[in-house]
Chain A
């Protein structure tokens, strides 16, 4: 394309139909829309699933807590049941007399305690409350229990498990007592449960770092040593509430009354033992209990938000790319638009000038004939003196010159306003150029210009549009002739050659005219650009020629030196590209030799 066009970057800028701010707003709009459309479902689904599974996990957790607590209750109850039935067995299979005697009770105690050490001592107490026999570490033989609560209870109920109390030994303990009725006499077998063992049993459940297991009686007194909330036999800071079946689980708000150092939201599970009526309770920091679930929840949300962030970032970049594509398309469309506008402008001008040219030719013809009539009359008359006649004849010659000049202008206009309905044909380039030369020879001769042709050897046939090509060649020859204005003679040399490397032909038009100055040569193919004085040229010829050559798949370039001449070089492919092929509404005949 060489010297005749501006850079494409500049063209892009000129062709941008909307300002950058429009594209920024478009970008924001797109980003907003796409992220909304992709983030909203992601977040909804993520939150939904996460929420659902978190709830599910929590409920499973609570359920398992329930089960654990129920199992633990069962363990404690079984333990107490088994100890009770052990005592019951002994009481009802041995007589008071036997147990009183010598070391019998002690041996019994040893054997009974051998497997698990669950009893701290063992004693036989009569219906008056006095110890009849005792095996154990404490000095209780002289003690009397008449009036003691456990004593009254066991006499009444037959079997009794007491709450924890201090008793004579002044150590917190609880007892299991069994009543034996032996031939009308009543006596009681009583054993103290090993506190350490029992505590260990009660505490033997996994409740995490913040959890504690609490055993309360109905008055809210600790029956086993709690981890945090107080001491055995102390009053618990929380109430056991009413009796209920099964396991009750609730969350308790952070409570400063409760160990102030651990004022946390807690989860509390409780269940009542049947016998004795103790409340087994687990208290655990809500956070710790649900630690795993919360962790999973947080992890899920973390990945969810990371995904959302990734989507946001990727969306931004993709949208930016899309907007740039939109912008590029806008520029392309605008460019095409401008091209179309230019083309239709040219077409309109073409039509207009064709009309004008046609209309002018007839009046011009008449002017010439009238001039000839006057010339004839002057030639015939003898009544004019020589100088006067000469002046008249000069004036008439001038009329002729100017009319011819008008003719040239209109002919140029008409040549280049033709509609370009193209027909692709196979032609012989050399023969074609010879015909073109034939067309222009007459005119060239009158301007004193020789048309020389140097045909290339072994030229292959050319598949292109002859009528459009003719237009170009005529234009170049006419321009070349015009370039000789003022010179008495000159030559236009046309040459052709085959270019096998590029599979095409090269045609050169070289003249000996005035040349084109360097500052003008870059604009030579621009529409409406002309170096001719006002009225002499339309500036359309080379622009149209350039367009035609491009459409036929070729290139046109120019070299010139002021004072020496100009050379146009046209290269054409052997076969014109398909786009150049249009409809032929007129059935135009080709100029190829028949």
Chain B
């Protein structure tokens, strides 16, 4: 399994730093930033496979950040973190294209489960792409 690049975005520094080190220990490439703007900037310099966004942040909130990053990059997947239980906003994010959401506090295992789901999804997509490529060659 190749290392997935994970971008972690949350204004709660302790929390997100811990998540980053826990993920790193589990063989992911994890980077932590502390605001929506920093996330956009980070994506500009290096694209991540998965972006984990806290919904409620000062400045650019999770939804806006997702929309901004989408403008730059169509392939990243998003996971929304919600700490204030508003499932509807999270669901809205899912409808807008986020892969799923997690309610804080959550175990690292739950987060990893979601990331693996995205990994599998990726693999499926890539398979399809190569099939198309073959088909095209056939014609």
Q: Which residues of A contact B (CB under 8 A)?
A: 354, 357-358, 361-362, 364-370, 372-373, 376, 400, 403-404, 406-407, 410-411, 414-415, 439, 467, 588-589, 591
Across the interface, B85 reaches (CB within 8 A) one of A362, A373, A404, A415, namely A415
Say yes or no: is B87 at the interface (Cβ < 8 Å to chain A). yes
| Contact indicator B12/A365 (Cβ below 8 Å) | yes
| Contact indicator B107/A400 (Cβ below 8 Å) | yes
| Contact indicator A362/B18 (Cβ below 8 Å) | no
Across the interface, B25 reaches (CB within 8 A) one of A357, A367, A376, A400, namely A376
Across the interface, A361 reaches (CB within 8 A) one of B84, B91, B92, B107, namely B84
Docked Cα-Cα span, A537 to B21, in Å, equals: 35
Docked Cα-Cα span, A42 to B85, in Å, equals: 74
User: Which residues of B have CB within 8 Å of A370?
Assistant: 18
Given A366-B12, A366-B14, A588-B88, verify A361-B22 contact (CB < 8 Å): no
Docked Cα-Cα span, A58 to B111, in Å, equals: 114
> How many residues on chain B are close to A (CB under 8 Å)?
22
| Contact indicator A365/B15 (Cβ below 8 Å) | yes
User: Which residues of A have CB within 8 Å of B107?
Assistant: 368, 372, 400
Given A414-B84, A414-B85, verify A361-B21 contact (CB < 8 Å): no
User: Which residues of A have CB within 8 Å of B97?
Assistant: none
In B92-114, the 8 Å CB interface with A consists of 92, 103-108
| Contact indicator B105/A357 (Cβ below 8 Å) | no
Given A373-B21, A376-B22, verify A410-B15 contact (CB < 8 Å): no
Say yes or no: is B19 at the interface (Cβ < 8 Å to chain A). yes
Given A400-B107, A403-B105, verify A369-B85 contact (CB < 8 Å): no
Q: How far is the CB of B56 from chain A (nearest CB, A)?
A: 8
Say yes or no: is B58 at the interface (Cβ < 8 Å to chain A). no
Say yes or no: is B59 at the interface (Cβ < 8 Å to chain A). no
Docked Cα-Cα span, A47 to B33, in Å, equals: 99
Interface centre among A362, A400, A589 (most CB of B within 10 A): A362
Across the interface, A358 reaches (CB within 8 A) one of B18, B83, B92, B108, namely B83
Closest to B25 in A: A376
| Contact indicator B83/A366 (Cβ below 8 Å) | no
Show 25 residue pairs from A and B whose CB-CB distance is below 8 angstroms, ordered by the A residue: A354-B84, A361-B84, A361-B105, A362-B12, A362-B83, A362-B104, A365-B15, A366-B14, A366-B15, A368-B106, A368-B107, A368-B108, A369-B14, A369-B18, A369-B19, A369-B108, A373-B18, A376-B25, A403-B105, A407-B105, A411-B103, A415-B85, A439-B87, A589-B92, A591-B91
Q: How far is the CB of A104 from chain B (nearest CB, A)?
A: 148
Interface secondary structure of A, over-half rule: helix
The 7 closest A-B pairs by CB, nearest first: A414-B85, A369-B18, A365-B105, A361-B83, A364-B105, A358-B84, A365-B104
| Contact indicator A372/B84 (Cβ below 8 Å) | no
Q: How far is the CB of B114 from chain A (nearest CB, A)?
A: 11
User: Which residues of B have CB within 8 Å of A591?
Assistant: 91
Across the interface, A362 reaches (CB within 8 A) one of B15, B21, B86, namely B15
| Contact indicator A410/B85 (Cβ below 8 Å) | yes
User: Which residues of B have CB within 8 Å of A403?
Assistant: 105
In B58-94, the 8 Å CB interface with A consists of 83-88, 91-92
| Contact indicator B18/A366 (Cβ below 8 Å) | yes
Across the interface, A372 reaches (CB within 8 A) one of B86, B91, B104, B108, namely B108
Closest to A358 in B: B84
| Contact indicator B105/A372 (Cβ below 8 Å) | no
User: Which residues of A have CB within 8 Å of B104?
Assistant: 361-362, 364-365
| Contact indicator B106/A411 (Cβ below 8 Å) | no
Docked Cα-Cα span, A354 to B21, in Å, equals: 31
Given A358-B84, A362-B83, A414-B84, verify A372-B103 contact (CB < 8 Å): no
| Contact indicator B15/A369 (Cβ below 8 Å) | yes
Q: How far is the CB of B47 from chain A (nearest CB, A)?
A: 26
Docked Cα-Cα span, A163 to B88, in Å, equals: 131
User: Which residues of B have CB within 8 Å of A415?
Assistant: 85
User: Which residues of B have CB within 8 Å of A589?
Assistant: 88, 92
Docked Cα-Cα span, A370 to B22, in Å, equals: 9
Docked Cα-Cα span, A588 to B92, in Å, equals: 10
Docked Cα-Cα span, A588 to B106, in Å, equals: 27
